[in-house]
Amino acid sequence: MALALAKTEALNARIARHSLQKGGWLGAARAGALARLGAMGMPVKRDEYWRYTDPSSLTVANAPIAALFDAGDEPPAYGAIDRLKITFVDGVFDPAASDDLTLSGVTIERLALAGKADIHWARDLFGLLEERGQTPVERPLATMSTAFATDGVLIRATGKVTKPISLIYEHKSETSDAILHHCIKVEQGADVTILENGPAAARLTMVMEVEVAEGGSFHHIRTQGRDHERRAATHIFARLASDALFKSFTVTANGRLTRNDVVVELIGHDAAAHIAGACVGDGDFHHDDTIFITHAGERCESRQVFKKVLKNGAVGVFQGKILVRQGAQKTDGYQISQALLLDDDSQFLAKPELEIYADDVKCSHGSTSGAIDDGALFYLRSRGVPLKEAQSLMVLAFLAEAIEEIHDEAIAEDVRERLRNWLVRHEK
Amino acid sequence: MLEIQNLHVKLAEEDKVILHGLDLKIGAGEVHAIMGPNGSGKSTLSYVLSGRDGYEVTAGSAKLQGAELLDMEPEERAAAGLFLAFQYPVEIPGVGNMTFLRTALNAQKKARGEDEVSAGEFLKLVRAKAKTLKIDAEMLKRPVNVGFSGGEKKRNEILQMAMLEPRMCILDETDSGLDVDAMKLVADGVNALRSAGRSFLVITHYQRLLDHIKPDVVHIMSAGRIIKTGGPELALDVENNGYADLVAEAE
Ligand SMILES: Nc1ncnc2c1ncn2[C@@H]1O[C@H](COP(=O)(O)OP(=O)(O)OP(=O)(O)O)[C@@H](O)[C@H]1O
Ligand SMILES: [Mg+2]
């Protein structure tokens, strides 16, 4: 009882400064979400699902101050990639820094504008996948985003989208508390790539709901990072029909606290979901990947590849679960989570889980943590590669399996370059 | 080229002494061979010269063209022209062989204040050298030594040596694990690199290799010392009679 009260009080404080927008199809969805949220309250440290990550800075009333970070002369992410840019500054759409939202094969709208209509395709998606993702464990921060998101994008891909849609999140206020919510619908046979980058705000709460219809492909590459003090709780909820492909890769560098939840349901047959992450953390850095994959259809494949490089007391968390439902025969599930600890102060906490109710499945999972291989390091140095450069090579080699999950080589190279620069800046 | 004087080495973590006052002098352009029983300290010598952790030099010096190797970091020794072909080449998952070679070559050039080689030039060079060592392009693309057979690893060592063009090459049992043809290939690779400005120290257990790589001088090492030095005939003597008499004579 005391716990429920604490959760409710935390919720009331957390949402006090955010107002519930009414009207349109969105207003109805928000009201429903608020009712669900009221029953849940905010997450607290005692919740099993927050065992390794303290949610208090995500649930406290005001966003903890996050100093802006000067990235110096480092070029912004995806600089060389031809893409359609949509920019949010501290969670607020910035038309001047955004392209015209027209692109062949896709319709793109802003949530804040499209929500006012009475009917809209997104009504059958917005908040629905988030709600499905509330079992077996509650994710109240996601529900909060359904209720209180101030903006986001609604993307409906109907064909092969000619270039990536790039969501850029800038952080310009030390106290900003952004809540965003995106919906992406990939119609039958359509193909879209979504890029995300930037710190977004002092504190970001975000949801992306992704529905991939038969034979559709969704590619997602996210660069989270830069500002050292920012905090973020993000959620991706995805549902895949037969022959659908879902690929999501996240690279995280910097940030005091990051919690990335990904919930994927493979409903149709022969679908594939690949979720990968590479994170590099130095010092006051806590990074949590929490993944939940449900296999319901037959012959589906899922792959989770998570790699973390940690130093100077950084903490990495991985909670990954594969649930294979009855009848999901010939499931092929793979999960690997690994940490490279560059010193004794850093820490990796992993909780891999398998729950299988079908008899003809192939599932494997593994989790390791270790240091850089001294033998390999000496071998590199004996060939003339200086210590720091040799270490960077070894770190990138460690991350390679995750980066290989990026489908596009130019984007993969952009990510590698970002990591190389980070390693140079964090040599000490 | 290389001058080792009174080298004493013990294990850093234990009290075990491995090299007990070793002396060795190799002139420019010379090929020296070291033979000796298992555990006599041959690999230890090669590791200490290239700067591997875990050993403590308690006395002595090792100079490459007058510069003290023992004061340098491993990468500085490499840039100064030292190369060790490992007895057990290391696998590095995730690092491509090409990336590895190019990074190493350019790092050495940079350390010496020379221009780096461009990607195109490098590719041409490495392809040509790989071909003479019968290393196929597929192998170059794979991660360093990962999944290579024993013989492929040894050939890869020689490829690195050919690319890096060191002055002082140490080959630690490069012949072990090689079939007859591969040994010939490796020996040809080494011989092609022989020049007035480059010296070799070839560690081996078998006279066979020395039929292909003709040494100027042969040393016998036992219990951390050079106990006998002679010409190529010394290797034949060992092949026929073993080490027992030589060791007894030294004691
Ligand atoms: N790191 C180490 N830890 C423990 N013992 C070591 C270490 N390095 C070398 N030794 C010991 O030192 C001695 C010399 O070893 P080394 O490998 O140099 O011999 P070697 O002459 O190369 O032998 P081989 O002909 O079998 O290759 C051996 O007794 C070996 O066990
Ligand atoms: Mg040896």
Which ligand places an atom closest to the C-alpha of B34?
1
Whether residue A346 contacts residue A312, with contact meaning beta carbons closer than 8 Å, is answered with yes
Which residues does chain B have within 8 Å of residue A383's beta carbon, measured at their own beta carbons?
A: 78, 100, 104, 107-108, 160, 164
Atom of ligand 1 nearest to the CA of B54: 1
* Distance from residue B37's CA to the centre of ligand 2 (Å): 9
* Distance (Å, whole) CA B203 – CA B174: 8
Residue A255: inside a domain: yes
Which residue, judged by its Cα, is nearest atom 29 of ligand 1? B39
Atom of ligand 1 nearest to the CA of B55: 1
Ordered mean pLDDT values, 10 residues apiece, chain A (428 residues): 86 92 92 96 93 96 94 88 98 97 97 92 97 95 97 97 97 97 98 97 98 98 92 98 98 96 98 98 96 98 98 97 97 97 95 96 95 94 94 92 94 93 86
Q: What's the order of all strands across the beta sheet hosting B67-68?
A: B17-26, B2-11, B55-64, B67-68
Backbone φ, ψ for residue A27 (5° rounding): -55, -40
Predicted local distance difference test score (pLDDT) of residue A1? 58
Cβ <8 Å between A394 and B100:
no
Q: How far apart are the first and last CA of chain A?
A: 48
* Distance from residue B176's CA to the centre of ligand 1 (Å): 16
Residue B36: inside a domain: yes
Residue A407: inside a domain: no
- Verify whether ligand 1 is closer than 6 Å to residue B39 (CB atom): yes
Tokens of A114: 């499209």
Predicted local distance difference test score (pLDDT) of residue B67? 94
Which ranges of chain B have pLDDT less than 50?
none
Predicted local distance difference test score (pLDDT) of residue B48? 96
Classify the phi-psi angles of A152: left when phi > 0, otherwise alpha if psi is within -120 to 50, otherwise beta: left
Which residue, judged by its Cα, is nearest atom 4 of ligand 1? B11
- Verify whether ligand 1 is closer than 6 Å to residue B34 (CB atom): no
Atom of ligand 1 nearest to the CA of B221: 21
The alpha carbon of residue B53 is apart from the nearest alpha carbon of chain A, in Å, by 8
Nearest residue of B to residue A394, measured between CA atoms:
B95
DSSP string of A381-428? Answer: HHTT--HHHHHHHHHHHHHHHHHTT-S-HHHHHHHHHHHHHHHHHT--
Predicted local distance difference test score (pLDDT) of residue A223? 96
Task: Confirm or reject contact between A376 and chain B (CB < 8 A).
Answer: yes
The parent domain of residue B152 ranges over 2-40+52-250
Cβ <8 Å between B92 and A389:
no
Cβ <8 Å between A382 and B107:
no
Mind spelling out the 3-state secondary structure of chain B?
CEEEEEEEEEECCCCCEEEEEEEEEECCCCEEEEECCCCCCHHHHHHHHHCCCCEEEEEEEEEECCEEHHHCCHHHHHHCCEEEECCCCCCEEEEEHHHHHHHHHHHHHHHCCCCCCCHHHHHHHHHHHHHHCCCCHHHHHCEECCCCCHHHHHHHHHHHHHHHCCCEEEEECCCCCCCHHHHHHHHHHHHHHCECCEEEEEECCCHHHHHHCCCCEEEEEECCEEEEEECCHHHHHHHHHCCHHHHHHHC
* Distance from residue A264's CA to the centre of ligand 1 (Å): 53
Residue A395: inside a domain: no
Identify the residue whose tokens are 């499945």: A361
Residue B45: inside a domain: no
Residue A243: inside a domain: yes
Residue B122: inside a domain: yes
* Distance from residue B232's CA to the centre of ligand 1 (Å): 25
Whether residue B223 contacts residue B55, with contact meaning beta carbons closer than 8 Å, is answered with no
Which ligand places an atom closest to the C-alpha of B223?
1
Count of CB contacts below 8 A, A vs B?
Answer: 82
Which residue, judged by its Cα, is nearest atom 31 of ligand 1? B39
- ipTM, interface predicted TM-score of the complex: 0.94
Counting the structural domains of chain B, the total is: 1
Residue A186: inside a domain: yes
The parent domain of residue A98 ranges over 2-372
Residue B190: give its domain's CATH number: 3.40.50.300
DSSP-H helix ranges across A111-171: 111-114, 128-132, 140-148
Q: Of B53, B104, B144, which has the smallest distance from its Cβ to A374's Cβ?
A: B53
Tokens of A355: 């729950």
- Verify whether ligand 1 is closer than 6 Å to residue B56 (CB atom): no
Tokens of B175: 């012949």
Counting the structural domains of chain A, the total is: 1
Burial class from Cβ neighbours inside 10 Å (0-12, 13-18, 19+) for residue A239 reads: buried
Nearest residue of A to residue B50, measured between CA atoms:
A382
Residue A135: inside a domain: yes
Residue A385: inside a domain: no
Cβ <8 Å between A378 and B53:
yes
* Distance from residue B41's CA to the centre of ligand 1 (Å): 6
Q: What separation in angstroms does the CA of B214 have from each of B30, B71, B172, B179, B187?
A: 10, 32, 16, 19, 10
Cβ <8 Å between B74 and A381:
yes
* Distance from residue B156's CA to the centre of ligand 1 (Å): 24
- Verify whether ligand 1 is closer than 6 Å to residue B54 (CB atom): yes
- Verify whether ligand 1 is closer than 6 Å to residue B43 (CB atom): yes
